[in-house]
Amino acid sequence: MKIGLIGLGKMGLNLALNMRDHGQVPVGFDLAPTNLKTAATNGIATANDLAALLDQLPTPRTIWVMVPAGAATTSVINDLAAHLTSGDTVLDGGNSFYKDSVHHGAELAKHGVHFLDVGTSGGQAGARHNGNFMVGGDPAVFKTVAPLFQAIAAPDGYLYTGPVGSGHYLKMVHNGIEYGMMASIGEGFDVLQHGPYDYDNAAVAKVWNNGSVIRSWLMELAEDAFDGDANLDTIKGVMHASGEGRWTLDTALDQQVATPVIAMALMMRYRSLSDDTFTGKVVAALRNEFGGHAVEHE
Ligand SMILES: O=C(CO)[C@H](O)[C@H](O)COP(=O)(O)O
């Protein structure tokens, strides 16, 4: 099918190439001229603005939005709401908060435009080959685009998840799990690093990837990272966060569901952003006050 693709960054370009390689016809648009140029160099048809993109699509039109979650996605959806007509379909493949997706779906519905919220997993590699997609929305609308997912997903790598919001809700929880799994892998290697034995991290990740209980894509990625930098000496342990872990935790707290692993993983990310903490200063000062215990000075 011919599909408009808004956002030709790290994920969007790979998705366009994946679509093209599997019999689909993407036409891309991006606000950044360099992204447009890179897409064109890679043989993807492009449009210089939204109107030109929509002109190139047969009606009813199908448009996949692949831009950063939050303000950027909302801005694109609002533009689309103003330009699309009844019967068109918008898919949001970004990491949008599911309540935003419910709102986007309702706004587009006012114009008769269908909306599917598509949780997209597998990183840049998955966007390029064998993607993973969790799709919420009207089941009849999903059916019309199911061949697209069949074409670009891994075998059994897409799922219709229920009404609008359910795709991104599922992706949010997926990312919460991702936080916990990565934190656990990181902590395990930290204990090895500080232990009495001189392990080769890449060799450990490799052996764990071959038959062990904890073999996984994340462990394969750890193997790749250690292969390139045996003790990760060239990078700092600063762990940024885009928001999905926090949304999972906020949601769990609302539901009074205990998710200590995800909570701690999120807090460790925040902790990693500071070299020192006021908490630490206060505890050190209190130990000093009551017990005369040593404090360290700047
Ligand atoms: O969706 C993803 C992987 O599944 C993204 O890479 C995600 O944005 C990473 O989140 P964070 O920056 O919070 O680690």
Give the tokens for residue 166.
């359910």
- Average the pLDDT over 279-292 and give the result: 97
Per the CB < 8 A criterion, the answer to whether 245 and 263 are in contact is: no
87 CA to centre of ligand 1 in angstroms: 32
CATH architecture classification, 171-278: Orthogonal Bundle (1.10)
Decide whether any atom of ligand 1 lies within 6 Å of the 178 Cβ: yes
Distance 175 CA to ligand 1 centre (A): 7
Q: Is the CB of 244 under 6 A from ligand 1?
A: yes
| 101 touches ligand 1 (CB under 6 Å) | no
**How many other CB atoms are there within 10 angstroms of residue 214's CB atom?**
13
Tell me the ipTM for this assembly.
0.97
Residue in 20, 18, 16, 38 with CA at minimum distance from that of residue 28: 16
- Could you tell me which CATH number the domain at 2-162 has? 3.40.50.720
Residue of minimum CA distance from atom 7 in ligand 1: 242
Q: Give 242 Cα–ligand 1 centroid separation in angstroms.
A: 6
**What pLDDT does 6 receive?**
98
Residue nearest to atom 14 of ligand 1 (CA): 241
96 C-beta closer than 6 A to ligand 1: no
pLDDT for the residue numbered 266: 98
Neighbours of 148 (CB within 10 A): 21
The 10 Å Cβ neighbour count of residue 21 is 12
pLDDT tens-place string over residues 56-104: 999 999 999 999 999 999 999 999 999 999 999 999 999 999 999 999 9
pLDDT class for 12, splitting at 50, 70, 90? very high
- Which of 171, 206, 236, 281 is labelled catalytic? 171
Q: Domain boundaries in the chain?
A: 2-162, 171-278
Q: How does pLDDT run across 96-127, given as a tens digit for each residue?
A: 999 999 999 999 999 999 999 999 999 999 99
Tokens encoding 207: 């052996």
171 is catalytic: yes
Question: For the segment 242-279, what is each residue's pLDDT rounded down to a tens digit?
Answer: 999 999 999 999 999 999 999 999 999 999 999 999 99
Q: Which atom of ligand 1 is nearest to the CA of 121?
A: 4
Q: What is the mean pLDDT of residues 35-55?
A: 97
